[in-house]
């Protein structure tokens, strides 16, 4: 049986876009049967009245249940038995549950099995509440009240267009490329989509990221995942609740990812007035792929990676052994000791839990190595970082100065026992 959608509205012309584009083509190809009905066809008075004043008073008008009952009995034919699969009465309303991709998938499932969706578009202050109550009590009708967002429209018609488009594109055979449904925002992985680019390679001085033209499909997939996670963290941090950060030891093959991440995050911890040239020079000198390969081979160092939804978002590097700086060596109260040498998380993920997970794992690893204490240097003006370290049990031991490029900088030295 063909999937069937009925829309009932006092403005059937509002639904004209259902003839167009992807939904229009799906209808022409017989993949879905859509009928739009004028609610007033089921009125019986001379004025074709569909509404009346609300019981209990208040502004606006409420749509009459008797008219809606006639209309919905006719389009749903409940108990008629001609339609073996599910029937859904869908009521767009700002008071409904948030309409999501998951609901679109469920509704597409009903249609794909030969079911029916009847969409009741209310106007004014909505439809008399007994209408949903009545059909909800009917055993083979499922009532769903959905809202398309936290704002108010004049009626359900635009929301009906939204819901129908979201559902019809999921029906088998409607989209040419099934992978595009899996890869898009709000797809199965619950992340927003990565940015996309096409020709030309340079437009108004803006370049397509070099990596996308490298042909290295592994690195491209990593890059896209990182950008998707970053964008989701920035724009929709609520979606990341489904993707708690995990931490693992870095392996030989992670040197490239580490160098990229180090270059991207180094500037986060630099003083705000440090020049681009000084930062770039430091990255070229100290955060190269070769350096990280060396670090990963060094028995005295351990590097940990934080991942969110399969993207590497932060790292730490710790070093077991005596501090090189004699002043720090003198100040550190326990032996042997460890230095927390690098601790970076991508800016967009600073409040995602990744940093705390990294810190917990770093301290746990230091304890496993039998180290009684750990120290770190943090830029004296980096209040955010110092607050974070204090929260994780570090306290100030003293200060030190060092050079980045042409500048003298001063660090706080912090320490905690393990």
Contact segment (CB under 6 A) with ligand 6GU among 64-72, 143-151, 351-359, 368-376 equals 143-151
Residue 101 buriedness (CB in 10 A; 0-12 / 13-18 / 19+): middle
Q: What kind and span of H or E run contains 354?
A: helix 354-368
Q: Write down the least CB distance from residue 308 to ligand 6GU, Å.
A: 31
Tokens at 187, concatenated: 């797809």
Cβ-contact 63, 126 below 8 angstroms: yes
Return the axis-axis angle of helices 21-28 and 157-168, rounded to nearest 10°: 60
* Rounded Cα gap, residues 208 and 193, in angstroms: 17
Considering the complex, state which of residue 155 and residue 323 has its C-beta at the smaller distance from ligand 6GU. 155
Candidates 155-163, 240-248, 314-322, 333-341; binding stretch for ligand 6GU (CB under 6 A): 155-163
Establish if 336 lies at the interface with ligand 6GU (CB under 6 A).
Answer: no
Does 147 participate in binding ligand 6GU (rule CB under 6 A)? yes
Q: How far is the CB of 105 from ligand 6GU (least distance, A)?
A: 18
Q: Is 92 in the site for ligand 6GU (CB under 6 A)?
A: yes
**Piece of the chain touching ligand 6GU by CB under 6 A; list 45-53, 86-94, 239-247, 404-412:** 86-94
- Rank residues 71 and 127 by Cβ distance to ligand 6GU and give the closer one: 127
CA distance 50 to 39: 8
Near ligand 6GU by CB under 6 A, which window of 87-95, 100-108, 203-211, 239-247? 87-95
Structure tokens given for 101: 């991709």
Instruction: Report DSSP state, residue 119.
Output: E
Interface with ligand 6GU, residue 9, by CB under 6 A: no
- Report residue 196: phi and psi, to 5°: -125, 150
For ligand 6GU, the binding residues in 189-208 under the rule CB under 6 A are none
With left for phi above 0 and alpha for psi between -120 and 50, is residue 377 left, alpha or beta? beta
- Contact with ligand 6GU (CB under 6 A): which of 94, 372, 373, 405? 94
**Sole binder of ligand 6GU in the list 15, 111, 119, 148 (CB under 6 A):** 148
Do the Cβ atoms of 27 and 7 come closer than 8 Å? Answer: no
Distance CA(73)–CA(76), nearest Å, equals: 5
- Our CA dihedral for 169, 170, 175, 181, rounded to 10 degrees, sits at 110
Q: Is 155 in the site for ligand 6GU (CB under 6 A)?
A: yes
The alpha helices in 198-321, defined as continuous H runs, are: 217-235, 255-265, 276-286, 289-297
Cβ at position 124, least distance to ligand 6GU in Å: 10
Q: CB of 375 within 8 A of CB of 411?
A: no
Q: Site for ligand 6GU (CB under 6 A): which residue of 35, 74, 153, 212? A: 153
- Write the burial class of residue 116 (CB in 10 Å: 0-12 exposed, 13-18 middle, 19+ buried): buried
Q: Which stretch binds ligand 6GU (CB under 6 A): 151-159, 291-299, 372-380, 410-418?
A: 151-159
Cβ at position 149, least distance to ligand 6GU in Å? 5
CA distance 307 to 230: 12
| Among residues 141, 159, 313, 357, the one that binds ligand 6GU under rule CB under 6 A | 159
Query: In the stretch 277-316, what mask flags binding to ligand 6GU with x, by CB under 6 A?
Result: ----------------------------------------
Q: Out of 9, 93, 318, 362, which residue is the one contacting ligand 6GU (CB under 6 A)?
A: 93
Q: How far is the CB of 132 from ligand 6GU (least distance, A)?
A: 13
SS3 405: coil
- Specify the residue, 69 or 94, whose C-beta has the smaller distance to ligand 6GU: 94
Binding characters for ligand 6GU, 33-72, by CB under 6 A (x = yes)? ----------------------------------------
Strand blocks (E) in 151-225: 202-203, 206-207
Nearest to 33 by CA among 135, 140, 115, 109: 115
Site for ligand 6GU (CB under 6 A): which residue of 151, 199, 204, 326? 151
Q: Is 149 in the site for ligand 6GU (CB under 6 A)?
A: yes
The helix/strand/coil state of 364 is helix
Binding site for ligand 6GU (CB under 6 A): 92-94, 147-149, 151-153, 155-156, 159
């Amino acid at each position: 049986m063909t999937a069937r959608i009925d829309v009932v509205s006092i403005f059937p012309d509002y639904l004209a876009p259902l003839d167009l584009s992807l939904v229009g083509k799906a209808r022409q190809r017989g993949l879905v049967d859509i009928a739009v009905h004028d609610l007033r066809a089921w009125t019986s008075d001379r004025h074709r009245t569909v509404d009346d004043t609300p019981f209990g008073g208040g502004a606006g008008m409420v749509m009459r249940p008797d008219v809606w009952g006639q209309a919905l009995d006719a389009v749903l034919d409940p108990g008629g038995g001609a339609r073996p699969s599910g029937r859904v009465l869908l009521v767009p309303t700002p008071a409904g549950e948030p309409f999501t991709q998951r609901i679109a998938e469920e509704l597409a499932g009903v249609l794909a099995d030969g079911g029916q969706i009847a969409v009741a578009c209310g106007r004014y202050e909505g439809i008399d509440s007994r209408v949903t109550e009545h059909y909800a009590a009917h055993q083979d009708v499922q009532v769903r009240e959905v809202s398309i967002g936290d704002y108010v429209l004049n009626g359900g018609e635009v929301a009906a267009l939204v819901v129908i488009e979201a559902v019809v594109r999921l029906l088998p055979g409607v989209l040419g490329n099934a992978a595009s449904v899996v890869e898009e925002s709000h797809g199965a992985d619950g992340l927003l989509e990565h940015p996309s680019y096409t020709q030309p390679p340079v437009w108004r001085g803006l370049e397509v990221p070099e990596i996308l033209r490298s042909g290295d499909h592994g690195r491209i997939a990593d890059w896209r995942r990182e950008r998707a996670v970053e964008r989701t963290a920035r724009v929709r941090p609520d979606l990341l609740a489904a993707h708690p950060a995990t931490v693992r030891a870095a392996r030989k093959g992670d040197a490239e990812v580490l160098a990229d991440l180090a270059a991207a995050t180094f500037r986060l911890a630099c003083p705000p007035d440090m020049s681009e040239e000084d930062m770039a020079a430091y990255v070229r000198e100290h955060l190269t792929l070769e350096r990280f390969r060396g670090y990963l081979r060094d028995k005295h160092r351990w590097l940990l990676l934080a991942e969110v939804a399969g993207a590497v978002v932060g790292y730490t590097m710790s070093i077991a052994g005596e501090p090189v700086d004699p002043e720090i060596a003198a100040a550190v109260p326990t032996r042997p000791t460890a230095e927390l040498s690098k601790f970076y998380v991508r800016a967009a993920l600073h409040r995602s839990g990744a940093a705390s997970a990294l810190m917990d794992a770093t301290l746990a690893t230091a304890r496993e190595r039998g180290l009684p204490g750990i120290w770190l240097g943090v830029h004296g003006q980096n209040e955010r970082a110092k607050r974070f370290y204090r929260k994780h049990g570090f306290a100030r031991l003293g200060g030190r100065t060092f050079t980045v490029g042409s500048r003298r900088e001063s660090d706080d030295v912090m320490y905690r026992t393990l």
